[in-house]
Amino acid sequence: DDVALSSRIIAMTDWCHGLMYGLSIAGLSDEIELSKDSQGFINDLVKISQADHQLVTEENEDENDFAELCEYLRMGLFVLYNELQPNTATV
């Protein structure tokens, strides 16, 4: 990727902040029962949103970690979305 890893981490933390804000605006609260997977994902969102981009090096290992983290966010959001959407029957 042409963009520095530290810049992508800043973008990722901003994205996590935005997602948490959107979930809270949509009414997601502690009163809503979620699966352990979704609860864990939301807890991880909080931690990821606090990532310090200054601790990152531009090494290949950090690039791989970032790619894995992006995949985790993608799949976690998919799980959360499917859990929060009501089942709709198709006719």
Per-residue pLDDT band for 88 (boundaries 50, 70, 90) equals low
> Would you give the distance in Å from CA 55 to the centre of its chain?
19
The predicted structure's pLDDT at residue 1: 64
Write the pLDDT tens digit of every residue in 15-58. Answer: 999 999 999 999 888 888 999 999 999 999 999 999 887 777 77
| Average pLDDT value for the chain | 88
Tokens of 52: 């310090």
Q: What is the mean pLDDT of residues 3-9?
A: 90
| CATH class for the domain made up of 5-83 | mainly alpha
- Asked if residue 11 lies in contact with residue 69, where contact means CB atoms within 8 angstroms, the answer is no
pLDDT > 70: what percent of the chain? 93
Q: What is the mean pLDDT of residues 56-79?
A: 89
Tokens of 32: 């809503």
Residues in the chain: 91
